[in-house]
Structure 1
Amino acid sequence: MQRFNSFAEFYPYYLAEHQHPLCRALHYIGSSLVIAVLILALSSQQWRMLWLLPLIGYGFAWLGHLVFEHNKPATFQYPFYSLAADWVMLKDFLTGQLKHKLPVKPV
């Protein structure tokens, strides 16, 4: 089992686990919907909507892994790094910082 001493070490691994564009797109959709539902819940004070956040965020991401990547989501091994990496990957995508050629998975 691979161990990471920092988020900087983990993030390239995370990107390698998300090479399929549709898997990444599902992550972006889920994260964007999380933001939208959070804003809606806070602005309307409909606190029951907050239970949807993990369902939406993880649901879209895990679907991408099941259908397109055919790998186990990093969430199960690295829950905190994985959650942070989701948001960094979305930020990198939106700001154009995400490299078009992602790292190749180590054998």
Structure 2
Amino acid sequence: MTAEIALCAHRFEDGRYCMHPLKHTSHHHPKPTVVELLALEQKHPARTPAKQTAIAATGYSVIRYYQAINQLLTDPEAFSIDPHTITRIRQYRDERTAARRTRTTR
């Protein structure tokens, strides 16, 4: 007896079908833009359940989301779009780094 695996069967614009297992959703959630990531971060500055839900809606895992945010910190385009949010996140990152150094030097 073999277990049946549900397939996605999403149809792409060129007529092809996705045949990945149903849990595969990368094409259903296009990669968020810089503006969308910054808007989410501006709307939800703290780690809350609402932010977790908003991150999940992007199609990113929480880890991937924070990796993307980290990449924006050195992106001049992101800074020109929303300097306030980028500066706030950089300060928060720097504070965490300093606290980590303090803990490890004791």
- By the TM > 0.5 criterion, same fold? no
More helix by percentage: 1
Q: Which structure would you say has the larger Rg?
A: 2
Q: Which has the higher contact order (CA 8 A, sep 6+)?
A: 1
Give the alignment's TM-score, normalised by structure 1: 0.32
> What is the TM-score normalised by the length of structure 2?
0.32
